[in-house]
Chains A and B, each alone.
Chain A
Amino acid sequence: MKKLGKVLIEITLMIVCAAYLFPVYIVLANSFKNRQELYENMLALPEKLTLEYYLEAVEKMNFSRAFGNSLIVTIVSIGIIVILGSMTAWMLVRTENKLSKFLFMVLVATMLIPFQTLMMPLMQVMSWSKTTLQVPMLDSLGGLIYMNVGFGASMAVFLYHGFVKSIPVSLEEAATIDGGNKLTVFFRIVFPMLKPTTVTVMILDVIWIWNDYLLPSLVLSNKNLRTIPLSTASFFGQFTIQWNLAMAGLMLTIIPVIIFYLAAQKYIIKGVAAGAVK
């Protein structure tokens, strides 16, 4: 009797979870239907599987281009954040003085500032850099990467700071006596030890940068530079009358996320938990 109850609970849980992901089913099912079929029954399974709307969406969204842009921005931003963030945090922990304390405090305190407070003056600063310094920050992927690094700095330093404090100095000192300079000591000895935090920072930043919409929408106006959220937004805006096409477009943007999730699930859940608890 008790066993039966347990099986029932298991089944109920699975039904609840399936219901929870029902919206994804709706998108998937309707991405295969033609207009008439879609309006006949939006909840039903499609009669046949056709990639017709996917191919059309790929072309109209300029999907491969957007995917490439998103990939470049995400990978390069995170690479820089991880390297500069860990270097800064290590130096701040290992050099105990007022300046280190002050810099760390400022980095952490600014985490409370919402993006909306910075966006307009930030755009002024960035357009000034073009007119006065001849460095184009707006409408360039490099500029977007630069700004991502600025916004990602606080959290990366914060997370690395906590971890560096927990590792003993003795190893580094031994390497220094052996004649290594700080750069080689850091990259040969310290950086490999920081791996758990590096994974956490990477996971949190992938979720943030890959999905980021507002900052890229302010920085990039050239169609060829659009990242996935930007091209999805403009595509969705144009095709809300053709829901099947819009659904295929949404599915296209979801699929890479699901693949990433299934491939790195263990790290993602751990990373998200570690990032939040700190």
Chain B
Amino acid sequence: MNRKSDRAWYALFVLPLIFVFTTVVIIPFLIGIGYSFVSWDGLPLNEKVFVGMNNYIRLFSDKRFLSSITHTLLFTVLAVVIINVLGLTFALIVTSQLKTRNIARTMLFMPYLIGGLILGFIWRFIFTDVFKAVGEATGWTKVFFSWLLNGDYALIALVIVMTWQMAGYIMIIYITGIQAIPDDVVEAAKVDGAGFWPMLLRVKFPLIMPSFTISLFMTLSNSFKIYDVNVSLTQGGPNNATEMLAMNIYNEIFSLNNYGYGQAKAIVFFIAVAFITLIQVSLTKKKEVVM
């Protein structure tokens, strides 16, 4: 009797959420794997033709897809490095004894709350019209021109907007780490005569290793999966020069109507995301232990 009622309570508490979760995440994930082996244009009445591994083989000769991988990797490396350097610098500044540190923290974190879509729109105006106007007014047209018309500059523009969005967020994570450093450790190092750099590199950095793990994980996966800023800032242009992986998948499925082929890309995308983040976490975790 008791066991039966326990089971009923268990079901009452757990089942509603697990049901929703299963229909929204698990089932789509599983049938998604199935879709990646068929050729289908998305129209319900049209037949889904089984093509085996063909969708996956086709990926290797898809120039647009391969170049979107290159852009995404380049973008990710640049974004991860710049966001972390800037976020860590901000964190070191606002954890100092400065009176303005709280206002500074408030201001630097703000962009993170404005969604990526809106941020992209704001910067689109700046990189196109404001830059052009400034260039015409100052004559520095080599720096100030419409950045979004040039593939390389448009990619840098994406890095800048991503940095603007994420640096304040990463700052918060590093602040948490820095504040957890015991005061006596810092004092002891000071007594031993540690200057600014030795203090930073030998004392503080090893102690905030967990913050590095989290920050790298967050920036890595967010940069690799970038979509909203991509849509609103460059729409993948000019000439697909800034079409990142997430957007390439979206376009393959919903613009070109290659549902099966696009889904094969989506599965590869998942494997790549899982692989990169797991490797990164295990690498940095190892470092934590060594320290």
A positions within 8 Å CB-CB of B:
6, 9-10, 13-14, 17-18, 20-21, 23-24, 26-27, 30, 39, 41-43, 84-85, 87-88, 90-92, 95, 103, 106-107, 110, 112-122, 124-125, 127, 146-147, 149-151, 153-154, 157, 181-183, 186, 207, 210-214, 229, 232-233, 236, 240, 243, 246-247, 250, 253-254, 257-258, 260-261, 265, 268-269, 272-273, 276-277
Contacts and interface: CB of A to CB of B under 8 A. Distances in A.
A164 B250 CA distance: 39
Contacts of B105: 269
18 contacts: A17-B104, A23-B164, A26-B122, A41-B137, A84-B16, A110-B26, A113-B274, A116-B250, A117-B267, A121-B263, A125-B27, A211-B114, A214-B250, A232-B118, A233-B232, A240-B124, A246-B125, A265-B106
Contacts of A30: 125
8 tightest A-B CB contacts, nearest first: A150-B24, A211-B115, A121-B28, A91-B13, A84-B17, A121-B32, A122-B28, A117-B270
B23 to A, nearest CB: 7
Most buried by B among A27, A91, A106, A240: A91
B93 interface: yes
Given A23-B123, A39-B133, A117-B269, A213 B117 contact: yes
The SS class assigned to the A binding surface is helix
Q: Interface residues of B: mostly helix, strand, loop or mixed? A: helix
Nearest to A88: B17
B113 A268 contact: yes
A232 B175 CA distance: 34
Contacts, number: 230
B237 to A, nearest CB: 14
Given A43-B134, A182-B13, A261-B113, A121 B270 contact: no
Nearest to A124: B31
B236 interface: no
Contacts of B110: 21, 24, 258, 261
A103 B35 contact: no
Contacts of A91: 9-10, 13-14
Contacts of A213: 115-117, 228, 231
Interface of B: 6, 9-10, 12-14, 16-18, 20-21, 23-29, 31-32, 35, 44, 93, 98-100, 103-118, 121-126, 129-130, 133-134, 137, 164, 169, 172-173, 175-176, 210, 214, 218, 225, 227-228, 231-232, 245-246, 249-250, 253-254, 259, 262-263, 266-267, 269-270, 273-274, 277-278
Contact of B107 (A21, A186, A246, A277): A21
Contact of B14 (A92, A233, A253): A92
A112 B273 contact: yes
Nearest to A103: B18
A121 B25 contact: no
B23 A150 contact: yes
A196 to B, nearest CB: 15
Contacts of B107: 17-18, 20-21
Contacts of A10: 98-100
B133 to A, nearest CB: 5
Contact of B118 (A87, A229, A265, A272): A229
Contact of B31 (A116, A121, A146, A182): A121
A37 to B, nearest CB: 12
A233 B117 contact: yes
A236 to B, nearest CB: 5
Given A13-B93, A23-B122, 4 more contacts: A88-B13, A186-B13, A213-B231, A229-B118
A139 to B, nearest CB: 16
Contact of A110 (B25, B122, B278): B25
Nearest to A274: B176
Contact of A147 (B24, B93, B104, B269): B24
B125 to A, nearest CB: 6
Given A20-B107, A116-B269, A243 B129 contact: yes
B286 to A, nearest CB: 19
A87 B17 CA distance: 9
Given A23-B122, A23-B164, A42-B133, A88 B14 contact: yes
B18 A88 contact: yes
A265 B107 CA distance: 11
B269 A14 contact: no
Contact of B121 (A18, A151, A207, A236): A236
